[in-house]
Amino acid sequence: MSAVVPVKWLFARLYEPDIVIVDCRFTMGKPDAGRTAYEEEHIPGAVYLDLERDLSAPVEEDGHGGRHPLPDIAELAARLGKVGISNESRVVAYDDQGGAMASRLWWLMKYLGHENVFVMEGGFTAWKNAGLLTSSEQKVLIPARFLATVQHNMLVEVEEVRESLGKAGVVLVDSREAPRYRGEVEPLDRVAGHIPGARNFFWAEGRRADGTWKSADEQRERFASLSQEDEIIVYCGSGVTATPNVLALREAGFVRVKLYAGSWSDWISYADNPIATGEK
């Protein structure tokens, strides 16, 4: 089954007891906008998880770990349980940012060993455009128990990225827009450029012009220049918009896909790390 489910799929299962719907809306630079939007209206029964408060750890003073460090595993598992997610839950995440925030939760849950997690096609706007009911009522939370089984092979740290530079059989994928990849602009981080040898696949190109996700065949065509035999390390600015590329690669049949969670903002926090600009 695809990791991306249509609005109608969720609507048909809206009140099934093992379904937990998670609103992940978040706007970079406006940290309260997502929660405010959730409190105004959301899919009935949805709970809210915040990118920075729930799905990331606090930023380190030295910048190591990047702008959105991975949360502590025990704290995240406890937080998931607190909003009613158990190991038996089917979790459906949505946002209104093209799937980037929902994919962060999708990746984190996969990393914790939870397979039944999905991203809703089109986000909250698609739900509203379908004429479906919304609510401002917040669900009464019944805590559950969530036990993590960490999938360490899904993640790489900065040391492994350093060791991969120029190594045969390892491909770095930069998920940012091309001007940021080339180092022409950098709106968020103090240094522009990319990790040497990385190839640019802008995450948003995993969607069609109408905003819907490309099919598995379309994703395979998009990544046709990559080999499924290679180990693929995906990064972005801070480990958020890399996750929809991880999802897209998995949909296309790639299995040796890892996330460099600290991403560019972590890479540049080490003064000795090399930096490339342009197309190289």
Helix, strand, coil percentages in the chain from 3-state DSSP, rounded to 5: 30, 15, 55
If DSSP states are collapsed to H, E and C, what string results for 5-54?
ECHHHHHHCCCCCCEEEEECCCECCECCHHHHHHHHCECCCCEECCCCCC
Residue 133 and residue 270 in contact, taking contact as beta carbons nearer than 8 Å: no
d(CA 105, CA 111): 10
| Pairing, β 19-23 against β 90-94 | parallel
Alpha-carbon distance 178 to 184, whole Å? 9
SS3 at position 262: coil
CA 114 to the chain's CA centroid: 15
- Single out the residue of 240, 39, 213 nearest to residue 126, CA to CA: 213
Q: Annotated active-site positions, please?
A: 236
Beta bridge partner(s), residue 5: 120
CA separation for the pair 251, 233 (Å, rounded): 16
